Structure 1
Amino acid sequence: MKLRVTYRLNAHLGGGTQECWIYSLSPEVSDCSGRMGVITPGENGMSGPGLLHPKKTEGATERDWWFTQYRQLSHYLALLCFLLTMATLLQTFYLVQITLVFQSQSTLQEVRLKDLTQKLNTLNHSYLLLFHKYPALNQYCPVTNSNTNERVCMPCPEGWESFGERCYLYTYDRRDWISSQYHCLSVGGNLAMVKSEEEQIFLWKRAKELSQGDSYWIGLRNGNPGGAWHWVDDSPVEKGFWDIFWDHEPEKGDTRELCARLSPGDSHRAGWYATMCKNSLKSICERTQGTLQ
């Protein structure tokens, strides 16, 4: 049994009102066009107008169902494309930022490198001027690498040996005492002056290694024939040295011009001998070590 009634229902699509619905005693209804559907209760299960949900009937085509599926898939693909686009934009933004930072740091490094290079060139120029203005520095800082002009600075000139605060040079040429002193003066020193037992031990050991039986002039002589003995700087011989280092003490009143020689024996003691200054011997020069003030 069917009744023709007029009832306001909210359509599932569009939200408008429809009239001329035909109801039956079953839950299925049809509109004026004959389309079938199922009416559902209102919101929260309350009575009243319900929603008409289209029901797939045998007469509906399969194409309509696939069209709905494709439409949903297209929405998902559109969302995915949007997300990929945003990710690409963010990645591009970060790449641009990284590139700008890298370029900024690279520019800063180039400026620093240019500044350091300029300072290095200025330092090298001052370095060359220093050795040109003070040639004596070449003795303390000889060139060790001719390709790079690298120098190694030492407290003593090349060829000299260091001990304490002094430098010593053992000469191989034989001269009389006064000529040996002039030679030591020409290289910036004097004949060696022994002021301590440690210095005597050092000179004795090195002379013994080099001498092969030779003796060496040291900077000690009698001031006048028969006079007192003193060093080349006019300082007297330290007390006690007479008994320790002389092989035998020079005779007082000897009118000959005598000078002291170091003859390395079995002990560093008793190694000084009084000898005629005109004899030709090797010599030991000494000078103070170079310092930077």
Structure 2
Amino acid sequence: MSLALLCSGQGRQDRGTFTLLADEPAARPIFDAATAPLGTDPAEFCRTAPEETLHANREGQLVCVARALAAAAALFPDGAPPETIVAGYSVGEMAAWGIAGVWSPTDTLVLVERRAKAMDMAGGPDDQLAHVRGLARETVERLARRFDCAIAIVNPGRLFIVGGTRAATEAFCAAALDAGAARAGPMSVRVASHTPRLAGAVAPFATALAAVPAKSPALRLMTAGGATLVTRPDRALAGLAAQLAETIDWAAVLEALAERGVTTILELGPGRALADMAAAALPTAEVRALDDFHSLAGARAWLKDHLGRCTAGVGE
């Protein structure tokens, strides 16, 4: 049996993002590392921050990466099985690199903050992402060009994420619905990630990445840039930085997981958007999201049931 851990992007964080993890001793070092940039314990931050702050680009990225790091630490206190594949969606890839052991949790969160800062400086104050489902890619590309937007992420099931200014993405969504889209609308992400609007963020982020020592991954780390496994992080850093201004093909990542024989998938959250996509793309795999469970004990039992001896490191 082969396990894949999926690290979510921002947009699904909410008041209960850390509820399952708040009392887990193994997660405490991640909470401590996230407290400095957030100004308070991440669980408290999610409970009390104004809605706009909770979904701000910097804070949203920190919360989502801290959630994935904390979830992995709590589920696998002795480390996940080495054959585990870990992949991340948008900023979730930063969490994936951290979970794979390329960076420490503290360094991972430092880099996430620098990533967000570079994005905020390069992007416009009214930038945002939107989603559209049900149109062919050619149609989405044509409409995006018409409204000065760009495809940010290609998902399976004709689901696309598009970035641009707020006015441009709203006009795009209206035109997409007129063109027959099943649905289209804005997302709670205030930055045009993975579009040329963030070209100015690539070099500063690349500089930040180069300044932090990177270890060889202890797990099988898959990058969304080409849906390939990272064996030499130093050779993959340029691609990780370039992703800020380039389209991500998440559908290709899921195809690569299927080709590598993944049979069990757990989305670390927040949310279950990646689990839903994975379940549709890999219909024979066992797919769950951590947010499906009412307790970590339930998630651990599910992992042990589906992976047996491969999960010897799963916490009791």
The answer to whether the superposition gives a TM-score over 0.5 is no
Answer 1 or 2: higher relative contact order, Cα 8 Å, separation at least 6: 2
Question: Scaled by the length of structure 1, what TM-score is found?
Answer: 0.20
Q: Higher strand fraction: Structure 1 or Structure 2?
A: 1
Q: Which has the larger radius of gyration?
A: 1
